[in-house]
């Protein structure tokens, strides 16, 4: 029963996120010849966003948006007053739009393998960075989400059983 309720709640939350994404237009500034940018646009559409592309490059809009060169990548997106630089995963953008922090936006600097639009079979660790001030240097940003496919997941300990063993002589403590 708990699993069913959890599944219903998760589906509802995903529905709310998808609905929010569907009502939000993303303006993407990119080179007309950039294949990875086009793949990122597809990733955003797959997550319910309406995307309008501007094939004019992104250096000017990056500068106007307050994104420093140290945080730069191959495309810049504008959405609900935020700037999104590079291959930021859609779930992080949905989270940003939901939480509405006081920020310039998010960045995945450079072009790490394994980010949306940069799928090549190789997956590198990378960080989604929260940019809180205009022209902020990379070293002064906050990590918004860390992706590390090589990190070992913590093993959860099985809960102790407070019930006596079959013979009734041993009790496990929590």
Domain boundaries along the sequence of the chain: 2-147
One DSSP character per residue, the chain reads -HHHHHHHHHHHHHHHHHHHHHT-EEEEE--TT-HHHHHHHHHHHHTT-EEEEE-S-SHHHHHHHTB-GGG--S-EEEETTEEEEES--HHHHHHHHHH--SSSEEEE-S--TTSTT--SS----EEEEEE-STTB-GGGSEEEEEE-TTSPPPPPPPPP--SPPTTS------
> Is the predicted pLDDT of residue 117 greater than 70, yes or no?
yes
In this prediction the pTM is: 0.76
Tens-digit pLDDT profile for residues 127-172: 999 999 999 999 999 999 999 988 766 444 444 444 444 444 333 3
> Is the predicted pLDDT of residue 77 greater than 50, yes or no?
yes
Tens-digit pLDDT profile for residues 4-17: 544 444 445 445 44
């Amino acid at each position: 029963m708990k699993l069913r309720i959890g599944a219903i709640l998760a589906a509802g939350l995903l529905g709310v996120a998808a609905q929010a994404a569907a009502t939000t237009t993303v303006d993407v500034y990119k080179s007309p010849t950039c294949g990875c940018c086009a793949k990122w646009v597809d990733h955003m559409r797959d997550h319910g966003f309406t995307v309008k592309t501007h094939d004019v490059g992104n250096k000017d809009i990056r500068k106007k948006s307050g994104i420093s060169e140290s945080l730069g990548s191959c495309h810049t997106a504008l959405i609900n007053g935020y700037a999104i630089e590079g291959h930021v995963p859609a779930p992080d953008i949905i989270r940003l739009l939901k939480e509405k922090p006081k920020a310039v936006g998010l960045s995945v600097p450079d072009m790490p393998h394994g980010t949306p639009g940069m799928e090549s079979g190789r997956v590198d660790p990378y960080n989604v960075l929260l940019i809180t001030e205009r022209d902020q240097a990379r070293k002064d940003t906050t990590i918004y989400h860390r992706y590390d496919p090589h990190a070992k997941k913590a093993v959860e300990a099985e809960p102790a059983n407070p019930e006596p063993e079959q013979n009734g002589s041993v009790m496990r403590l929590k």
